[in-house]
Structure 1
Amino acid sequence: MHEGTGSKRFRDFNLEGGVFIVTGGAQGLGLVMAEALVEAGAEVHCLDRQPEPDDEFTVAHERIEKEYGGSLHYSQVDVRDVKNLDETIGRIAARKERLDGLIAAAGVQQITKAVDYTFEDAQKMLAINYTGLFMTATSVARAMMKYKCRGRICLIASMSGLIANKGLITPVYNSSKAAVIQLSRCLAMEWGKIKEDGTGGIRVNCLSPGHIITPMVEKNFEEVPGLKEKWESENMMGRLSQPEEFKSAGLFLLSNASSFMTGQNLVIDGGHTAW
Protein backbone atom coordinates (compact mmCIF):
# COMPACT_ATOMS: atom_id res chain seq x y z
CA MET A 1 0.00 0.00 0.00
CA HIS A 2 1.33 3.41 -0.97
CA GLU A 3 1.70 6.07 1.67
CA GLY A 4 -0.80 8.92 1.57
CA THR A 5 -4.45 8.82 0.55
CA GLY A 6 -4.49 5.15 -0.44
CA SER A 7 -3.20 3.98 2.93
CA LYS A 8 -6.28 5.44 4.62
CA ARG A 9 -8.79 3.51 2.53
CA PHE A 10 -10.69 0.48 3.73
CA ARG A 11 -8.74 -2.18 1.82
CA ASP A 12 -11.68 -4.05 0.27
CA PHE A 13 -12.94 -0.83 -1.31
CA ASN A 14 -9.52 0.40 -2.44
CA LEU A 15 -9.26 0.57 -6.26
CA GLU A 16 -5.84 2.18 -6.40
CA GLY A 17 -4.02 1.28 -9.63
CA GLY A 18 -7.14 -0.13 -11.29
CA VAL A 19 -8.57 0.92 -14.65
CA PHE A 20 -12.34 1.31 -15.02
CA ILE A 21 -14.87 2.37 -17.64
CA VAL A 22 -18.24 4.06 -17.06
CA THR A 23 -20.66 4.51 -19.96
CA GLY A 24 -23.23 7.27 -19.73
CA GLY A 25 -20.62 9.11 -17.70
CA ALA A 26 -21.02 12.65 -19.01
CA GLN A 27 -23.50 13.59 -16.30
CA GLY A 28 -26.08 12.28 -13.84
CA LEU A 29 -25.90 8.81 -12.33
CA GLY A 30 -23.01 7.64 -14.50
CA LEU A 31 -20.84 10.57 -13.51
CA VAL A 32 -21.44 10.33 -9.76
CA MET A 33 -20.65 6.60 -9.86
CA ALA A 34 -17.46 7.39 -11.77
CA GLU A 35 -16.59 9.88 -9.03
CA ALA A 36 -16.91 7.15 -6.42
CA LEU A 37 -14.39 4.97 -8.27
CA VAL A 38 -11.92 7.86 -8.55
CA GLU A 39 -12.38 8.61 -4.84
CA ALA A 40 -11.33 4.99 -4.24
CA GLY A 41 -8.11 5.62 -6.19
CA ALA A 42 -9.02 4.35 -9.67
CA GLU A 43 -8.24 5.56 -13.17
CA VAL A 44 -11.73 6.06 -14.61
CA HIS A 45 -12.73 6.60 -18.24
CA CYS A 46 -16.19 8.04 -18.84
CA LEU A 47 -17.74 7.30 -22.24
CA ASP A 48 -20.79 9.11 -23.59
CA ARG A 49 -22.22 10.18 -26.94
CA GLN A 50 -21.99 13.91 -26.13
CA PRO A 51 -19.07 15.67 -27.88
CA GLU A 52 -18.19 17.28 -24.54
CA PRO A 53 -19.25 16.24 -21.03
CA ASP A 54 -21.63 18.33 -18.94
CA ASP A 55 -20.27 21.20 -16.84
CA GLU A 56 -20.66 19.04 -13.74
CA PHE A 57 -18.00 16.73 -15.18
CA THR A 58 -15.47 19.59 -15.19
CA VAL A 59 -16.31 20.42 -11.58
CA ALA A 60 -15.95 16.76 -10.57
CA HIS A 61 -12.69 16.42 -12.48
CA GLU A 62 -11.09 19.36 -10.68
CA ARG A 63 -12.32 18.26 -7.25
CA ILE A 64 -11.64 14.55 -7.11
CA GLU A 65 -8.26 14.36 -8.82
CA LYS A 66 -6.90 16.95 -6.40
CA GLU A 67 -8.43 15.38 -3.31
CA TYR A 68 -8.22 11.64 -3.94
CA GLY A 69 -5.36 10.91 -6.31
CA GLY A 70 -7.29 8.90 -8.88
CA SER A 71 -7.92 10.21 -12.39
CA LEU A 72 -11.01 10.98 -14.49
CA HIS A 73 -11.05 10.98 -18.30
CA TYR A 74 -13.67 11.49 -21.02
CA SER A 75 -14.16 10.09 -24.53
CA GLN A 76 -17.03 10.58 -26.94
CA VAL A 77 -18.48 7.16 -27.73
CA ASP A 78 -21.96 6.15 -28.86
CA VAL A 79 -22.58 2.59 -27.65
CA ARG A 80 -24.35 1.87 -30.96
CA ASP A 81 -21.09 2.50 -32.83
CA VAL A 82 -19.58 -0.87 -32.05
CA LYS A 83 -16.36 -0.30 -34.02
CA ASN A 84 -15.51 2.91 -32.16
CA LEU A 85 -16.66 1.40 -28.87
CA ASP A 86 -14.37 -1.59 -29.33
CA GLU A 87 -11.40 0.53 -30.38
CA THR A 88 -11.82 2.92 -27.45
CA ILE A 89 -12.11 0.14 -24.88
CA GLY A 90 -9.11 -1.64 -26.42
CA ARG A 91 -7.03 1.52 -26.28
CA ILE A 92 -7.93 2.20 -22.64
CA ALA A 93 -7.06 -1.37 -21.61
CA ALA A 94 -3.80 -1.43 -23.59
CA ARG A 95 -2.25 1.55 -21.79
CA LYS A 96 -1.61 -0.42 -18.60
CA GLU A 97 -2.45 -3.86 -20.00
CA ARG A 98 -5.38 -4.19 -17.64
CA LEU A 99 -9.07 -3.44 -17.33
CA ASP A 100 -10.61 -3.97 -13.92
CA GLY A 101 -14.23 -2.96 -14.20
CA LEU A 102 -17.21 -1.50 -16.00
CA ILE A 103 -20.32 0.39 -14.97
CA ALA A 104 -22.69 0.35 -17.97
CA ALA A 105 -25.03 3.27 -17.30
CA ALA A 106 -25.82 4.55 -20.81
CA GLY A 107 -29.56 4.59 -21.43
CA VAL A 108 -32.51 6.56 -22.81
CA GLN A 109 -36.21 6.72 -22.08
CA GLN A 110 -39.30 7.49 -24.15
CA ILE A 111 -42.85 8.12 -22.94
CA THR A 112 -45.12 6.61 -25.58
CA LYS A 113 -48.22 4.43 -25.47
CA ALA A 114 -47.55 0.92 -26.71
CA VAL A 115 -50.14 1.26 -29.51
CA ASP A 116 -48.35 4.40 -30.75
CA TYR A 117 -44.84 2.96 -30.80
CA THR A 118 -43.16 2.76 -34.21
CA PHE A 119 -40.72 0.06 -35.18
CA GLU A 120 -37.99 2.68 -35.47
CA ASP A 121 -38.64 4.08 -31.99
CA ALA A 122 -38.55 0.64 -30.40
CA GLN A 123 -35.44 -0.29 -32.32
CA LYS A 124 -33.63 2.89 -31.19
CA MET A 125 -34.52 2.32 -27.52
CA LEU A 126 -33.34 -1.28 -27.53
CA ALA A 127 -30.21 -0.42 -29.54
CA ILE A 128 -29.00 1.81 -26.70
CA ASN A 129 -30.52 0.27 -23.57
CA TYR A 130 -29.92 -3.38 -24.38
CA THR A 131 -27.80 -4.06 -27.47
CA GLY A 132 -25.37 -1.21 -26.82
CA LEU A 133 -25.01 -2.29 -23.20
CA PHE A 134 -24.48 -5.90 -24.31
CA MET A 135 -21.80 -4.86 -26.82
CA THR A 136 -20.09 -2.76 -24.14
CA ALA A 137 -20.01 -5.64 -21.67
CA THR A 138 -18.66 -8.12 -24.24
CA SER A 139 -15.98 -5.70 -25.43
CA VAL A 140 -14.87 -5.10 -21.85
CA ALA A 141 -14.89 -8.84 -21.13
CA ARG A 142 -12.65 -9.53 -24.14
CA ALA A 143 -10.12 -7.00 -22.83
CA MET A 144 -10.29 -8.53 -19.35
CA MET A 145 -9.67 -11.97 -20.81
CA LYS A 146 -6.83 -10.72 -22.98
CA TYR A 147 -4.97 -9.37 -19.96
CA LYS A 148 -6.24 -12.10 -17.60
CA CYS A 149 -7.96 -9.64 -15.27
CA ARG A 150 -10.46 -10.87 -12.70
CA GLY A 151 -12.83 -8.08 -13.66
CA ARG A 152 -16.11 -6.77 -12.26
CA ILE A 153 -19.05 -5.56 -14.31
CA CYS A 154 -22.06 -3.61 -13.06
CA LEU A 155 -24.99 -3.25 -15.47
CA ILE A 156 -27.38 -0.42 -14.59
CA ALA A 157 -30.93 -1.73 -14.87
CA SER A 158 -33.89 -0.27 -12.97
CA MET A 159 -36.73 -1.24 -10.70
CA SER A 160 -38.70 -0.58 -13.92
CA GLY A 161 -37.40 -3.96 -15.06
CA LEU A 162 -39.37 -5.55 -12.21
CA ILE A 163 -42.59 -3.53 -12.15
CA ALA A 164 -44.81 -1.34 -14.32
CA ASN A 165 -44.30 2.24 -13.15
CA LYS A 166 -47.54 3.87 -12.04
CA GLY A 167 -48.28 7.01 -14.01
CA LEU A 168 -45.50 6.55 -16.59
CA ILE A 169 -46.15 4.86 -19.95
CA THR A 170 -42.72 3.48 -20.96
CA PRO A 171 -43.25 -0.12 -22.16
CA VAL A 172 -40.05 -0.47 -24.19
CA TYR A 173 -37.83 1.18 -21.56
CA ASN A 174 -39.20 -1.14 -18.87
CA SER A 175 -38.78 -4.17 -21.12
CA SER A 176 -35.20 -3.22 -21.94
CA LYS A 177 -34.34 -3.02 -18.24
CA ALA A 178 -35.90 -6.44 -17.60
CA ALA A 179 -33.67 -7.77 -20.38
CA VAL A 180 -30.60 -6.23 -18.73
CA ILE A 181 -31.39 -7.98 -15.44
CA GLN A 182 -31.60 -11.33 -17.22
CA LEU A 183 -28.45 -10.58 -19.22
CA SER A 184 -26.45 -10.07 -16.02
CA ARG A 185 -27.30 -13.60 -14.91
CA CYS A 186 -26.31 -15.10 -18.26
CA LEU A 187 -22.99 -13.25 -18.45
CA ALA A 188 -22.18 -14.10 -14.82
CA MET A 189 -22.71 -17.78 -15.61
CA GLU A 190 -20.60 -17.64 -18.78
CA TRP A 191 -17.64 -15.66 -17.45
CA GLY A 192 -17.50 -16.58 -13.76
CA LYS A 193 -15.24 -19.63 -13.63
CA ILE A 194 -11.47 -19.30 -14.01
CA LYS A 195 -10.36 -21.44 -16.96
CA GLU A 196 -7.14 -23.35 -17.50
CA ASP A 197 -5.73 -20.53 -19.66
CA GLY A 198 -6.21 -18.06 -16.79
CA THR A 199 -9.19 -16.21 -18.28
CA GLY A 200 -12.53 -15.81 -16.57
CA GLY A 201 -13.19 -14.96 -12.95
CA ILE A 202 -15.32 -12.04 -14.12
CA ARG A 203 -18.20 -11.09 -11.85
CA VAL A 204 -21.33 -9.54 -13.35
CA ASN A 205 -24.10 -7.94 -11.32
CA CYS A 206 -26.98 -5.54 -11.84
CA LEU A 207 -27.94 -2.40 -9.98
CA SER A 208 -31.62 -1.45 -10.12
CA PRO A 209 -32.27 2.04 -8.77
CA GLY A 210 -35.66 3.44 -7.95
CA HIS A 211 -36.74 6.90 -9.04
CA ILE A 212 -33.77 9.29 -9.20
CA ILE A 213 -33.85 13.04 -9.76
CA THR A 214 -31.88 13.21 -13.02
CA PRO A 215 -32.25 15.41 -16.14
CA MET A 216 -34.17 12.55 -17.80
CA VAL A 217 -36.62 12.30 -14.88
CA GLU A 218 -37.01 16.07 -14.63
CA LYS A 219 -38.17 15.93 -18.28
CA ASN A 220 -40.71 13.26 -17.29
CA PHE A 221 -42.10 15.62 -14.64
CA GLU A 222 -42.54 18.33 -17.29
CA GLU A 223 -44.34 15.91 -19.61
CA VAL A 224 -46.60 14.38 -16.95
CA PRO A 225 -48.06 16.89 -14.44
CA GLY A 226 -48.36 15.50 -10.92
CA LEU A 227 -45.97 12.61 -11.60
CA LYS A 228 -43.38 13.74 -9.02
CA GLU A 229 -45.97 13.90 -6.26
CA LYS A 230 -47.43 10.53 -7.27
CA TRP A 231 -44.06 8.81 -7.19
CA GLU A 232 -43.23 10.34 -3.82
CA SER A 233 -46.51 9.07 -2.38
CA GLU A 234 -45.82 5.56 -3.69
CA ASN A 235 -42.46 5.39 -1.93
CA MET A 236 -41.99 4.05 1.60
CA MET A 237 -39.63 6.94 2.37
CA GLY A 238 -41.94 9.57 0.88
CA ARG A 239 -39.25 11.03 -1.35
CA LEU A 240 -37.22 10.42 -4.49
CA SER A 241 -33.49 9.74 -4.55
CA GLN A 242 -30.47 11.74 -5.66
CA PRO A 243 -27.74 10.24 -7.90
CA GLU A 244 -25.21 10.56 -5.08
CA GLU A 245 -27.13 7.97 -3.05
CA PHE A 246 -25.94 5.23 -5.42
CA LYS A 247 -22.21 6.02 -5.37
CA SER A 248 -21.34 3.51 -2.67
CA ALA A 249 -23.42 0.77 -4.29
CA GLY A 250 -21.46 1.07 -7.53
CA LEU A 251 -18.18 1.03 -5.63
CA PHE A 252 -19.31 -2.04 -3.66
CA LEU A 253 -20.13 -3.98 -6.83
CA LEU A 254 -16.82 -3.08 -8.50
CA SER A 255 -14.59 -3.73 -5.49
CA ASN A 256 -13.41 -6.74 -3.51
CA ALA A 257 -16.10 -5.95 -0.95
CA SER A 258 -18.50 -7.94 -3.16
CA SER A 259 -16.04 -10.72 -4.01
CA PHE A 260 -18.59 -13.57 -3.68
CA MET A 261 -21.47 -11.77 -5.40
CA THR A 262 -22.32 -12.42 -9.04
CA GLY A 263 -25.44 -12.88 -11.16
CA GLN A 264 -27.48 -10.77 -8.74
CA ASN A 265 -29.71 -7.72 -9.01
CA LEU A 266 -29.19 -5.15 -6.24
CA VAL A 267 -32.44 -3.19 -5.86
CA ILE A 268 -32.19 0.23 -4.17
CA ASP A 269 -35.57 1.88 -4.47
CA GLY A 270 -36.55 3.40 -1.14
CA GLY A 271 -38.88 0.46 -0.59
CA HIS A 272 -40.94 1.12 -3.72
CA THR A 273 -41.11 -2.55 -4.77
CA ALA A 274 -41.43 -3.87 -1.19
CA TRP A 275 -45.06 -2.90 -0.56
Structure 2
Amino acid sequence: MPSLPEFSLKDKVVIVTGGARGLGLVQAEALLESGATVHAFDRLPEPDSDSAFAAVSRRARDELGVSLTYHQLDVRDAEHLNKVVEGIASEKGRLDGLIAAAGIQQETPALEYTAEDFNRMLEINVTGVFVTAQAVARQMVRLGKGGSMVLIASMSGTVANRGLNCTAYNTSKSGVLQLARNLAMEWGEHGIRVNTISPGYIVTDMVEALFKTHPERREEWAKHNMLGRLSKPSEYRGASVFLISDASSFMTGSDLRMDGGHSAW
Protein backbone atom coordinates (compact mmCIF):
# COMPACT_ATOMS: atom_id res chain seq x y z
CA MET A 1 0.00 0.00 0.00
CA PRO A 2 1.23 3.54 -0.69
CA SER A 3 2.37 5.52 2.31
CA LEU A 4 3.46 9.04 3.14
CA PRO A 5 7.28 8.97 2.95
CA GLU A 6 7.67 12.07 5.12
CA PHE A 7 6.46 10.06 8.13
CA SER A 8 9.15 7.41 7.70
CA LEU A 9 11.90 7.21 10.32
CA LYS A 10 13.92 4.61 8.47
CA ASP A 11 17.60 4.64 9.55
CA LYS A 12 17.01 7.47 12.04
CA VAL A 13 18.46 7.20 15.56
CA VAL A 14 16.27 8.48 18.37
CA ILE A 15 16.70 8.68 22.15
CA VAL A 16 13.69 8.34 24.46
CA THR A 17 14.08 9.22 28.12
CA GLY A 18 11.67 7.59 30.54
CA GLY A 19 11.55 4.87 27.90
CA ALA A 20 11.41 1.78 30.11
CA ARG A 21 7.68 1.98 30.74
CA GLY A 22 4.51 4.03 30.45
CA LEU A 23 4.13 6.78 27.88
CA GLY A 24 7.84 6.74 27.00
CA LEU A 25 7.79 3.06 26.05
CA VAL A 26 4.61 3.45 24.01
CA GLN A 27 6.23 6.25 22.06
CA ALA A 28 9.43 4.26 21.63
CA GLU A 29 7.44 1.42 20.05
CA ALA A 30 5.78 3.83 17.62
CA LEU A 31 9.19 5.11 16.55
CA LEU A 32 10.40 1.54 16.05
CA GLU A 33 7.37 0.73 13.91
CA SER A 34 8.23 3.73 11.75
CA GLY A 35 11.75 2.42 11.16
CA ALA A 36 13.86 4.15 13.80
CA THR A 37 16.63 2.73 15.92
CA VAL A 38 15.74 3.65 19.50
CA HIS A 39 17.82 4.07 22.65
CA ALA A 40 15.76 4.15 25.84
CA PHE A 41 17.04 5.91 28.97
CA ASP A 42 15.55 5.26 32.40
CA ARG A 43 16.48 5.09 36.08
CA LEU A 44 15.53 1.42 36.46
CA PRO A 45 18.63 -0.76 36.90
CA GLU A 46 17.26 -3.10 34.22
CA PRO A 47 13.78 -3.72 32.81
CA ASP A 48 12.35 -7.06 33.93
CA SER A 49 12.80 -9.90 31.44
CA ASP A 50 9.02 -10.42 31.40
CA SER A 51 8.21 -6.71 31.19
CA ALA A 52 6.49 -4.78 28.43
CA PHE A 53 9.89 -3.34 27.54
CA ALA A 54 11.30 -6.82 26.90
CA ALA A 55 8.34 -7.63 24.67
CA VAL A 56 8.80 -4.45 22.64
CA SER A 57 12.53 -5.12 22.37
CA ARG A 58 11.92 -8.64 21.04
CA ARG A 59 9.33 -7.35 18.59
CA ALA A 60 11.76 -4.69 17.34
CA ARG A 61 14.40 -7.32 16.67
CA ASP A 62 12.32 -10.21 15.37
CA GLU A 63 9.46 -8.50 13.57
CA LEU A 64 10.49 -4.94 12.70
CA GLY A 65 14.17 -5.44 11.89
CA VAL A 66 15.30 -2.56 14.11
CA SER A 67 16.65 -2.33 17.64
CA LEU A 68 15.66 -1.02 21.07
CA THR A 69 18.63 -0.56 23.41
CA TYR A 70 18.36 0.16 27.13
CA HIS A 71 20.63 2.52 29.09
CA GLN A 72 20.29 2.89 32.86
CA LEU A 73 20.92 6.48 33.87
CA ASP A 74 19.56 9.41 35.82
CA VAL A 75 18.81 12.51 33.75
CA ARG A 76 20.26 14.61 36.58
CA ASP A 77 23.70 13.07 35.99
CA ALA A 78 24.93 15.41 33.27
CA GLU A 79 28.41 13.88 32.97
CA HIS A 80 27.11 10.33 32.49
CA LEU A 81 24.34 11.53 30.20
CA ASN A 82 26.71 13.40 27.88
CA LYS A 83 29.05 10.40 27.74
CA VAL A 84 26.28 7.97 26.77
CA VAL A 85 24.76 10.32 24.20
CA GLU A 86 28.14 10.98 22.62
CA GLY A 87 28.77 7.23 22.44
CA ILE A 88 25.48 6.61 20.63
CA ALA A 89 26.09 9.42 18.15
CA SER A 90 29.66 8.31 17.47
CA GLU A 91 28.73 4.67 17.02
CA LYS A 92 25.93 5.41 14.57
CA GLY A 93 27.45 8.48 12.96
CA ARG A 94 24.12 10.24 13.45
CA LEU A 95 21.60 11.29 16.06
CA ASP A 96 18.27 12.39 14.65
CA GLY A 97 15.82 12.79 17.49
CA LEU A 98 14.95 12.99 21.16
CA ILE A 99 11.73 12.39 23.06
CA ALA A 100 12.22 13.66 26.62
CA ALA A 101 9.51 11.82 28.56
CA ALA A 102 11.29 11.27 31.89
CA GLY A 103 9.53 12.98 34.77
CA ILE A 104 7.98 12.56 38.20
CA GLN A 105 4.72 13.57 39.85
CA GLN A 106 3.82 14.35 43.46
CA GLU A 107 0.45 15.42 44.81
CA THR A 108 0.91 17.52 47.94
CA PRO A 109 -0.93 20.64 49.18
CA ALA A 110 1.18 23.76 48.64
CA LEU A 111 1.19 24.59 52.35
CA GLU A 112 2.77 21.22 53.08
CA TYR A 113 5.23 20.98 50.17
CA THR A 114 8.83 20.94 51.36
CA ALA A 115 11.51 22.95 49.60
CA GLU A 116 13.47 19.73 49.15
CA ASP A 117 10.61 18.01 47.32
CA PHE A 118 9.88 21.11 45.23
CA ASN A 119 13.52 21.36 44.16
CA ARG A 120 13.60 17.63 43.33
CA MET A 121 10.58 18.07 41.07
CA LEU A 122 12.23 20.93 39.17
CA GLU A 123 15.57 19.14 39.08
CA ILE A 124 14.12 16.12 37.29
CA ASN A 125 11.28 17.64 35.29
CA VAL A 126 13.01 20.82 34.11
CA THR A 127 16.78 20.67 34.66
CA GLY A 128 16.85 17.01 33.66
CA VAL A 129 15.02 17.78 30.42
CA PHE A 130 17.37 20.69 29.71
CA VAL A 131 20.52 18.65 30.36
CA THR A 132 19.21 15.86 28.13
CA ALA A 133 18.33 18.25 25.30
CA GLN A 134 21.69 19.97 25.67
CA ALA A 135 23.59 16.67 25.44
CA VAL A 136 21.67 15.65 22.32
CA ALA A 137 22.04 19.10 20.72
CA ARG A 138 25.80 19.04 21.23
CA GLN A 139 26.01 15.89 19.14
CA MET A 140 23.58 17.15 16.51
CA VAL A 141 25.67 20.29 16.11
CA ARG A 142 28.90 18.26 15.99
CA LEU A 143 27.52 16.00 13.28
CA GLY A 144 25.99 18.92 11.38
CA LYS A 145 22.81 17.12 10.34
CA GLY A 146 20.24 18.81 12.56
CA GLY A 147 17.41 16.89 14.17
CA SER A 148 14.13 17.09 16.05
CA MET A 149 13.36 17.12 19.77
CA VAL A 150 10.05 16.51 21.50
CA LEU A 151 9.79 17.54 25.14
CA ILE A 152 6.83 16.06 27.01
CA ALA A 153 5.05 18.89 28.77
CA SER A 154 1.42 18.77 29.95
CA MET A 155 -1.82 20.68 29.79
CA SER A 156 -0.98 21.25 33.46
CA GLY A 157 1.73 23.65 32.32
CA THR A 158 -1.02 25.93 31.02
CA VAL A 159 -3.94 25.41 33.42
CA ALA A 160 -4.46 24.67 37.09
CA ASN A 161 -6.00 21.22 37.52
CA ARG A 162 -9.21 21.64 39.48
CA GLY A 163 -9.07 19.69 42.74
CA LEU A 164 -5.55 18.35 42.13
CA ASN A 165 -2.84 19.73 44.43
CA CYS A 166 0.17 19.55 42.12
CA THR A 167 1.67 23.04 42.29
CA ALA A 168 5.26 21.85 41.82
CA TYR A 169 4.44 19.51 38.93
CA ASN A 170 2.38 22.13 37.11
CA THR A 171 5.13 24.69 37.61
CA SER A 172 7.68 22.26 36.19
CA LYS A 173 5.61 21.57 33.07
CA SER A 174 5.16 25.30 32.49
CA GLY A 175 8.95 25.47 32.61
CA VAL A 176 9.22 22.76 29.95
CA LEU A 177 6.98 24.76 27.61
CA GLN A 178 9.13 27.86 27.94
CA LEU A 179 12.34 25.83 27.77
CA ALA A 180 11.31 24.37 24.42
CA ARG A 181 10.51 27.76 22.91
CA ASN A 182 13.88 29.16 23.89
CA LEU A 183 15.86 26.13 22.75
CA ALA A 184 14.02 26.29 19.42
CA MET A 185 15.09 29.90 19.08
CA GLU A 186 18.75 29.21 19.86
CA TRP A 187 19.17 25.99 17.91
CA GLY A 188 17.13 26.70 14.80
CA GLU A 189 20.24 27.93 13.02
CA HIS A 190 21.69 24.43 13.43
CA GLY A 191 18.66 22.79 11.85
CA ILE A 192 17.44 21.53 15.23
CA ARG A 193 13.70 21.70 15.83
CA VAL A 194 12.26 21.69 19.37
CA ASN A 195 8.56 21.18 20.09
CA THR A 196 6.42 19.97 22.98
CA ILE A 197 3.47 17.66 23.45
CA SER A 198 1.01 18.61 26.19
CA PRO A 199 -1.11 15.56 27.08
CA GLY A 200 -4.28 15.66 29.10
CA TYR A 201 -5.16 13.06 31.71
CA ILE A 202 -3.71 9.68 30.67
CA VAL A 203 -4.73 6.38 32.23
CA THR A 204 -1.38 4.79 33.06
CA ASP A 205 -0.53 2.18 35.71
CA MET A 206 0.33 5.03 38.08
CA VAL A 207 -3.05 6.70 37.52
CA GLU A 208 -4.89 3.39 37.91
CA ALA A 209 -3.21 3.01 41.31
CA LEU A 210 -4.35 6.54 42.18
CA PHE A 211 -7.94 5.67 41.28
CA LYS A 212 -7.89 2.93 43.92
CA THR A 213 -7.56 5.57 46.63
CA HIS A 214 -9.55 8.26 44.79
CA PRO A 215 -12.13 6.32 42.69
CA GLU A 216 -14.25 9.43 42.19
CA ARG A 217 -11.54 10.97 40.01
CA ARG A 218 -12.03 8.49 37.17
CA GLU A 219 -15.47 9.90 36.44
CA GLU A 220 -14.80 13.47 37.55
CA TRP A 221 -11.68 13.99 35.42
CA ALA A 222 -13.49 12.69 32.34
CA LYS A 223 -16.07 15.44 32.77
CA HIS A 224 -13.40 18.13 32.55
CA ASN A 225 -12.78 17.78 28.80
CA MET A 226 -14.94 18.05 25.70
CA LEU A 227 -14.72 14.37 24.78
CA GLY A 228 -15.94 13.23 28.17
CA ARG A 229 -13.30 10.55 28.66
CA LEU A 230 -9.70 9.99 29.69
CA SER A 231 -6.92 9.26 27.22
CA LYS A 232 -4.76 6.18 26.69
CA PRO A 233 -0.96 6.24 26.17
CA SER A 234 -1.45 4.81 22.68
CA GLU A 235 -3.29 7.96 21.59
CA TYR A 236 -0.01 9.90 21.61
CA ARG A 237 1.92 7.54 19.33
CA GLY A 238 1.20 9.39 16.11
CA ALA A 239 2.12 12.75 17.57
CA SER A 240 5.62 11.57 18.41
CA VAL A 241 6.24 10.13 14.96
CA PHE A 242 4.88 13.31 13.37
CA LEU A 243 7.14 15.61 15.38
CA ILE A 244 10.30 13.52 14.97
CA SER A 245 9.74 12.93 11.26
CA ASP A 246 10.02 15.23 8.26
CA ALA A 247 6.22 15.51 8.26
CA SER A 248 6.72 18.41 10.72
CA SER A 249 9.82 19.85 9.05
CA PHE A 250 8.65 23.49 9.32
CA MET A 251 7.38 23.19 12.90
CA THR A 252 9.45 24.37 15.84
CA GLY A 253 8.87 26.28 19.06
CA SER A 254 5.31 24.95 19.10
CA ASP A 255 3.18 23.04 21.58
CA LEU A 256 0.93 20.22 20.42
CA ARG A 257 -1.78 20.20 23.08
CA MET A 258 -3.69 16.93 23.17
CA ASP A 259 -6.06 17.23 26.10
CA GLY A 260 -9.48 16.38 24.71
CA GLY A 261 -10.35 20.07 24.77
CA HIS A 262 -9.76 20.37 28.53
CA SER A 263 -8.00 23.73 28.13
CA ALA A 264 -10.35 25.10 25.48
CA TRP A 265 -13.51 25.62 27.56
Secondary structure of 2:253's counterpart equals coil
Q: Aligned partners of 2:116, 2:215: CA distance in 1, in Å? A: 27
Match of 2:155 in 1: 159
Secondary structure of 2:206's counterpart equals helix
Name the Cα RMSD after superposition. 1.3
TM-score by length of 1: 0.92
Shift of 1:8: 6.3
Q: Aligned partners of 2:33, 2:246: CA distance in 1, in Å? A: 15
1:189 aligns with 2:185: yes
Is the Cα–Cα contact under 8 Å of residues 109 and 216 in structure 1 kept in the other structure? no
> Which is further off, 173-182 or 59-68?
59-68
> Which is further off, 35-44 or 209-218?
209-218
Shift of 1:249: 0.2
Secondary structure of 2:240's counterpart equals helix
> Which is further off, 60-69 or 109-118?
60-69
Q: Please give the residue correspondences for 1:50-89 in structure 2 after superposition, counting only pairs within 5 Å.
A: 50-53=44-47, 55-89=51-85
Q: Which amino acid aligns with 1:142?
A: R
Equivalent in 110, 125, 136 of residue 140 of structure 1: 136
Identity of aligned residues (%): 55
Shift of 1:219: 3.3
Is the Cα–Cα contact under 8 Å of residues 16 and 70 in structure 1 kept in the other structure? no
Q: Aligned partners of 1:140, 1:10: CA distance in 2, in Å? A: 27
Q: Aligned partners of 1:247, 1:62: CA distance in 2, in Å? A: 19
Q: Aligned partners of 1:114, 1:248: CA distance in 2, in Å? A: 36
Q: Please give the residue correspondences for 1:94-113 in structure 2 after superposition, counting only pairs within 5 Å.
A: 94-113=90-109
Equivalent in 19, 32, 35 of residue 41 of structure 1: 35
> Which is further off, 220-229 or 18-27?
220-229
Secondary structure of 2:160's counterpart equals coil
Q: Aligned partners of 1:229, 1:162: CA distance in 2, in Å? A: 22
Q: Aligned partners of 1:45, 1:172: CA distance in 2, in Å? A: 29
Q: Aligned partners of 2:64, 2:90: CA distance in 1, in Å? A: 24
1:269 aligns with 2:259: yes
1:120 aligns with 2:110: no
Q: Which runs of 4+ in 1 moved over 4 A?
A: none
Q: Aligned partners of 1:213, 1:166: CA distance in 2, in Å? A: 17
Q: Aligned partners of 1:85, 1:215: CA distance in 2, in Å? A: 27
Q: Aligned partners of 2:213, 2:187: CA distance in 1, in Å? A: 41
Q: Report Cα offsets for 1:44-95 as digits up to 9, x if no partner.
A: 0000000112501011112233222221111101101111111111111110
Q: Aligned partners of 1:45, 1:23: CA distance in 2, in Å? A: 8
Shift of 1:214: 1.2
Unaligned residue ranges in structure 1 (runs of 5+): 1-6, 194-199
Number of equivalent positions: 263
Match of 1:232 in 2: 222
Match of 2:248 in 1: 258
Q: Aligned partners of 1:70, 1:8: CA distance in 2, in Å? A: 21
